[in-house]
Copies of this chain bind each other. A is one copy, B any other.
Amino acid sequence: MAILVVGSIALDTIETPHGKAVDILGGSAVYFAYAASFFDRVNMVGVVGEDFPDEHVKLLHTRMIDTEGLQVIKGQTFRWVGSYEGEMNNAKTHSTCLNVFENFQPIIPEKYKNSEVVFLANIDPDLQIGVLSQVTKPKLVVCDTMNLWINTKKKSLTKLLGMVDIAVLNEGEARLYAGTQNLIKAAKHLLEQGPKYVIIKKGENGAMMLSSHGFFATPGFPIEHVKDPTGAGDTFAGGLVGNLAKWGKVDKASLRKALIYGCVMASFTVEDFSLDRMKKLDNKDISDRYLEFVNLTNFHF
């Protein structure tokens, strides 16, 4: 099933204990689209400035990602400068220049409107709702968000949660939204807002999922050489949603497997800056790591 993603496209400058990279390709829509493209067709909507290197668009095309929805407008591309220290669990933002992203109005091209799967990456929840009004009855809608919108647009975000099938948040966001430190309570509170499934990302500690059928929990894939955690969450969503689209159904078994594929894709992303690790992947690398994941978590002998 075709996947529509709407989100940010960025040029990131990132420093981690393992190096520094300047103006590298990033953004939630980019990480998501690239990861999902290993599983199904992706239609991408986002905005860049005139300075956006053409090689990045070409890179997306090598994965058959459709970029008709990429708006190129006068000005500079969204830029984020950040760093990570120690365990690299939290990014420190040094500067955020929204540039052309500041007034981003997602316009869904006609040919994308019947995309069966929609991923609303982290943008203003009012824009996310606006995207849903432009698409024709998608079979699966998944959303992400961030602290900023929880703090400034909680009402809109809550409305959005009532319109999606799956809400994907990280643990800090889930705690902030629900106003509780206990993640299980937070997940239950989020589920009460309307989504059928709530998935909470826990970085190196894996993820958990809650639905009316109960809990699912998984550890993260152990990675010894984490170089840059940027984009891990969006890559996770790409693996998850890409798999659900590929299999064409959303049930207990497909969701759990898809979530593991999300962890697998995220585990690759953190091994290098930008898309550098994913660029080297083929399908066998992905299925091999999935099997490794099965092996390292199995205790049902």
Contacts and interface: CB of A to CB of B under 8 A. Distances in A.
A259 B299 CA distance: 9
Given A298-B256, A300-B300, A206 B219 contact: yes
A148 interface: no
A301 B253 contact: yes
A256 B297 CA distance: 9
A182 B224 contact: yes
A216 B184 contact: no
A115 B45 CA distance: 67
Contacts of A208: 219, 222
A288 to B, nearest CB: 14
Contacts of A259: 299
Contacts of A182: 87, 224-226
Of A182, A215, A224, A294, most B-chain CB atoms within 10 Å:
A182
A218 B297 contact: yes
A15 interface: no
Interface residues of A, number: 40
Contact of A184 (B183, B224, B252, B253): B224
Centre residue among A214, A217, A220, A259 by max chain B CB count within 10 A? A217
B260 A299 contact: yes
A294 B300 CA distance: 8
Given A202-B205, A205-B202, A256-B299, A219 B217 contact: yes
Contact of A216 (B214, B252, B297): B297
B257 A299 contact: yes
